[in-house]
Amino acid sequence: MDSLIAGLQAIVGARHCLIEPDTQAPFVADWRGIYHGRARAVVLPGTVAEVQAIVRLARQHHAPIVPQGGNTGLSGGATPDDSGRAILLSLKRLTKVRTIDPLNNSMIAEAGCILANLQQAANEADRLFPLSLSAEGTCQIGGNLATNAGGINVLRYGNARDLCLGLEIVLPDGTLLSNLHGLRKDNTGYDLKQIFIGSEGTLGIITAAALKLFPKPVARATSVVALSDLDVAPALLARCRAGLADQLVSFELLPRFGIELGQRFMPGLAWPLERLADWSILIEANTSSAAFDIRAAMEQCLADALDAGEIIDAAVASSEAQSLVLWQLREGIVEGQNRTGASIKHDVSVPVAQVPAFVKAGFEAVLAAWPEARLLAFGHLGDGNIHFNLTQPEGESKAQFLARTEGMNRIVHDLVARFAGSISAEHGIGQLRRAELQHRKPAAELDLMRRIKRMLDPDDLMNPGKLV
């Protein structure tokens, strides 16, 4: 056995140092099965001190480290390359909620806490931890912060970055950087945590975080509305923002094709309106004040939108059970897409007012190049983040379809640039978009990113080949 493996076993115990291919298998491929790598060892430290010891030992041996959370990332950031040199460091065993402070509305959680468990812990303390995404039963808070995850509640509560008050991080030289005081105000110089949020494991390993909590909502109103035309969506959003104040939580674009795909694979999914329009919106608002009638506010908003001709039909859930049913329609789009075959995915954002023009121009440009393309544009319209995807057509093999990826990426990302948008709104860069980032990010920003990386990780051992 080589001395690195012996050293790792001495740190975490042989049980938590996996060297056989079959025990490593769940860790070395990504969620979508696009990336497959190899690891010299998969290590599962049980304490922060063990993380530090592993990082120091790896450095002595010039062994790269790939940090991994729940392995739900969609950009290949947590998968090692196939050289078999890397140590994959899983945060799975760091699962303590260290403290919950209801008065400060904050909690301190270790990186390996599953997101859904943190939502539950907050709930038990009569608080809300609002980060929410479909992968919440598996993804970890460390991974959420390392990717600056978004999800369905960003409009009201912000993304992972907005929910973070401080971080504990093991730097590439093993030093522990800790700022978990949970202060709401701290103007003592550079806000260092911001560099690590969204850094995808390339600058260090997040071991814990201080997170913001919120008062628990006492009521929510969920509706599905049929748009008269996609162009009116920004006006409807502005109306909802005004009518529902800062209580608007979600504003999700539902395309006809996406709903049809969902219904094909989840036959129980009933559409709540008389007819299925080309474009619909799922709207959700919540309130933590029992004095505010959120349902009445939603109904008023939608009545005004009907009068203004922005929408042609609307359904408002009248119970919690009905809210869940409406949300299943949104989830059905993802499920339907996954079960239809392969996808060429673009997780892009443009200024909110430009979303309709962007989607229409995107359809036109893709269909001009490939008239048989099956396009699916859906998602977080309220924050300008659209999942602009192509699904595998019937009668075309997966390989034939995926061979089009580069051409389609060029068309969509060129358009994103024309609309002054971003090629990665919430899924990060990883290895999937690394080459593309080199063309799309301003040179001065790329240069500064590389200099920060070199300064913190001069030997390029922390998740090499990802992001920068």
Ligand X SMILES: Cc1cc2nc3c(=O)[nH]c(=O)nc-3n(C[C@H](O)[C@H](O)[C@H](O)COP(=O)(O)OP(=O)(O)OC[C@H]3O[C@@H](n4cnc5c(N)ncnc54)[C@H](O)[C@@H]3O)c2cc1C
Binding to ligand X by residue 144, rule CB under 6 A? yes
Q: For ligand X, which is the closer residue by CB, 106 or 144?
A: 144
Binding to ligand X by residue 78, rule CB under 6 A? yes
Q: Which of 149, 237, 285, 294 binds ligand X (CB under 6 A)?
A: 149
Taking the complex as a whole, the smallest distance from the CB of residue 380 to ligand X amounts, in Å, to: 8
Binding to ligand X by residue 74, rule CB under 6 A? yes
Q: Which of 28, 205, 236, 449 binds ligand X (CB under 6 A)?
A: 205
Taking the complex as a whole, the smallest distance from the CB of residue 112 to ligand X amounts, in Å, to: 7
Q: Measure the CA–CA gap between 439 and 406, rounded to whole angstroms.
A: 14
Binding to ligand X by residue 201, rule CB under 6 A? yes
Q: Which of 24, 106, 117, 147 binds ligand X (CB under 6 A)?
A: 147
Taking the complex as a whole, the smallest distance from the CB of residue 438 to ligand X amounts, in Å, to: 18
Q: Measure the CA–CA gap between 267 and 49, rounded to whole angstroms.
A: 51
> What angle is formed at CA 336 by the lines to CA 332 and CA 339, rounded to 5 degrees?
140
Q: Measure the CA–CA gap between 240 and 247, rounded to whole angstroms.
A: 9
Taking the complex as a whole, the smallest distance from the CB of residue 467 to ligand X amounts, in Å, to: 7
Q: Which candidate, 187, 160, 190, places its Cα nearest to that of 177?
A: 190
Q: Measure the CA–CA gap between 380 and 334, rounded to whole angstroms.
A: 13
Taking the complex as a whole, the smallest distance from the CB of residue 244 to ligand X amounts, in Å, to: 22
Taking the complex as a whole, the smallest distance from the CB of residue 89 to ligand X amounts, in Å, to: 8
Question: Segment near ligand X (CB under 6 A), from 60-68, 209-217, 238-246, 305-313?
Answer: 60-68
Q: Which of 81, 110, 168, 200 binds ligand X (CB under 6 A)?
A: 200
Q: For ligand X, which is the closer residue by CB, 206 or 294?
A: 206
Q: Which of 122, 128, 135, 468 binds ligand X (CB under 6 A)?
A: 135
Site for ligand X in 92-111 (CB under 6 A): 111
Q: Which of 37, 45, 64, 69 binds ligand X (CB under 6 A)?
A: 69
Binding to ligand X by residue 258, rule CB under 6 A? no
393-423 burial, b at 16+ Cβ within 10 Å, e below that, comes to eeebeeeebbebeeebbebbbebbeebebbb
Strand order in the sheet with 87-90: 17-18, 41-43, 87-90, 65-68
Q: Identify whether the C-beta of residue 362 lies closer than 8 Å to the C-beta of residue 415.
A: yes
Interaction mask 417-436, ligand X, x per CB under 6 A: ---------xx--x------
Question: Segment near ligand X (CB under 6 A), from 144-152, 255-263, 265-273, 407-415?
Answer: 144-152
Taking the complex as a whole, the smallest distance from the CB of residue 40 to ligand X amounts, in Å, to: 16
Q: For ligand X, which is the closer residue by CB, 113 or 305?
A: 113
Binding to ligand X by residue 140, rule CB under 6 A? yes
Binding to ligand X by residue 24, rule CB under 6 A? no
Binding to ligand X by residue 281, rule CB under 6 A? no
Task: Identify residue 211 by its one-letter amino acid code.
Answer: L
Q: What one-character DSSP code corresponds to residue 83?
A: T
Binding to ligand X by residue 465, rule CB under 6 A? no
Closest-approach residue to ligand X (CB): 143
> What angle is formed at CA 139 by the lines to CA 171 and CA 82, rounded to 5 degrees?
65
SS3 state of residue 325: helix
**SS3 labels along 399-468:** HHHHCCHHHHHHHHHHHHHHCCCECECCCCCCCCCHHHHHHHCCHHHHHHHHHHHHHHCCCCCECCCCCC
Q: Residue 378: what are its φ and ψ, rounded to 5°?
A: -150, 175
Q: Which candidate, 349, 375, 382, places its Cα nearest to that of 148?
A: 349
Q: Measure the CA–CA gap between 205 and 168, rounded to whole angstroms.
A: 9
Taking the complex as a whole, the smallest distance from the CB of residue 138 to ligand X amounts, in Å, to: 6
Q: Which candidate, 408, 374, 405, 393, places its Cα nearest to that of 258?
A: 374
Q: Measure the CA–CA gap between 103 and 353, rounded to whole angstroms.
A: 38
List of residues contacting ligand X (CB under 6 A): 31, 66-74, 77-78, 91, 111, 133-135, 139-140, 142-144, 146-147, 149-151, 200-201, 205-206, 426-427, 430, 463, 466
